[in-house]
C-alpha cells in the first residue's frame, strides 16, 4: 500500500485559476515537506512543517499556501496560477531530521 | 545558503562497469547527506544516507563516500546493470530547523547503462 498519497496525479489548470494539491502520509512521521521539480529548475525546496507548524519557507510568492488540517496531511494551495508554475510537485515526510520519503508527485500543467 | 554542485550531468557506461557521481557542497555545517534515484516519470527513491563523518556506506551495488574536509560526497556504482539507468540526485541538509530540515539537491546525473 502506498505510504504517501498525493492527489491528483495529473492536473491541468488555466492561467489565473486556483488549485489545491493533496498530500497524506501514513508513515507516522511528524515532519512534512513540499518540493517542486521542473525542466527549468532542479528539485527545489518549498516548505517544511513539523507537528503542523511551519518550520521553513523558501517560496517567495504568497500564491503558494500550505495547509495542514491534520498531522499527516499537508496540502498545497496555489492561487493565480501562471504557466511558470507548471512542474511536478512532490510531497515528502520524515521522522524528525532523518531521511525524507517522497510521494509519487502531482504533475501540474498551467495553460 | 547551501549550494550543491553535482557532476557529471550525464554519464553513460557499459553494463558491468563502474560509475562515479560526485557532489560538492558549500556549507561546512551540513550534517546529513542522501542519494536518491529517480526513474522516468517516477518519484524519488532513497538509495543511501550518510551522516556527519568521513564514512563509507555500502548498499546493494553502491558505495557512498563522504569527505567533510573537502565537502565532497560521491556515489560509486560498482558493477552497473540496466536497472541502474535513471537520474541520481545528491541531497544535503544542515539539520538546523528543529527536525524539519530542507534538503538542497544537486541538479542530478542522468545515468545510462549500455548493454
Give the pLDDT confidence of B64-103 residue by residue, as tens digits.
889 888 999 999 998 999 999 999 999 999 877 677 889 9
Provide the shortest C-alpha distance from residue A61 to chain B (in Å): 18
Which of B64, B81, B83 is CA-nearest to residue B22?
B64
Residue position matching grid coordinates 541520481? B88
Residues 6 or more apart whose Cβ sits within 8 Å of residue B109: B6, B7, B8, B9, B10, B11, B21, B87, B88, B89
DSSP strand pairing (A75-78 vs A64-67): antiparallel
Work out the mean pLDDT of chain A and round it to a whole number: 94
Indicate the DSSP class of residue A73. B
Contact at CB, A97 and B101, closer than 8 angstroms: yes
List chain A residues with CB under 8 Å of B46.
99-102
DSSP 3-state of B69 = coil
CA A50 to mean position of chain CA atoms: 14
Residue matched to cell numbers 517560496: A59
> What average pLDDT does the segment A72-100 reach?
94
pLDDT band at B54 (very low <50, low <70, confident <90, very high): low
Residue % of chain A over a pLDDT of 90: 82
With cut-offs at 50, 70 and 90, classify the pLDDT of residue B1. Answer: confident
Q: Is the pLDDT of residue A25 over 70?
A: yes
Q: How far apart are CA B105 and CA A98, in angstroms?
A: 15
pLDDT band for position A74 (cuts 50, 70, 90) = very high
Residue A38 at interface with chain B, using a CB cutoff of 8 Å: no
Percent of the residues in chain A that have a pLDDT greater than 70, as a whole number: 97
Chain B: give the shortest CA distance to residue A48, in Å.
6
Give residue B3's pLDDT band: very low, low, confident or very high (50, 70, 90).
very high
Amino acid at each position: 500500500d502506498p505510504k504517501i498519497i498525493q492527489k491528483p496525479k495529473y492536473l491541468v489548470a488555466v492561467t489565473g485559476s486556483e488549485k489545491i494539491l493533496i498530500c497524506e502520509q501514513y508513515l507516522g512521521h511528524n515532519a512534512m515537506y513540499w518540493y517542486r521539480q521542473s525542466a527549468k529548475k532542479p528539485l527545489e525546496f518549498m516548505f517544511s512543517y513539523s507537528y503542523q507548524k511551519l518550520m521553513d519557507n523558501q517560496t517567495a510568492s504568497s500564491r503558494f499556501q500550505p495547509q495542514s488540517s491534520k498531522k499527516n496531511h499537508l496540502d498545497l494551495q496555489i492561487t493565480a496560477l501562471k504557466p511558470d508554475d507548471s512542474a511536478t510537485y512532490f510531497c515528502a515526510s520524515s521522522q524528525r531530521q532523518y531521511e525524507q520519503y517522497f510521494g509519487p508527485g502531482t504533475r501540474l500543467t498551467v495553460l | 545558503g547551501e549550494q550543491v554542485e553535482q557532476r557529471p550531468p550525464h554519464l553513460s557506461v557499459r553494463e558491468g562497469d563502474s560509475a562515479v557521481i560526485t557532489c560538492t557542497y558549500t556549507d561546512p555545517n551540513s550534517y546529513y547527506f542522501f542519494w536518491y534515484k529517480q526513474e522516468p516519470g517516477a518519484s524519488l527513491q532513497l538509495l543511501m544516507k550518510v551522516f556527519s563523518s568521513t564514512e563509507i556506506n555500502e548498499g546493494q551495488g553502491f558505495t557512498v563516500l563522504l569527505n567533510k574536509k573537502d565537502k565532497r560526497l560521491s556515489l560509486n556504482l560498482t558493477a552497473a546493470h540496466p536497472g541502474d539507468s535513471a537520474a541520481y540526485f545528491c541531497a544535503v541538509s544542515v539539520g538546523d530547523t528543529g527536525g524539519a530540515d530542507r534538503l538542497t539537491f544537486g541538479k542530478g546525473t542522468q545515468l545510462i547503462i549500455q548493454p
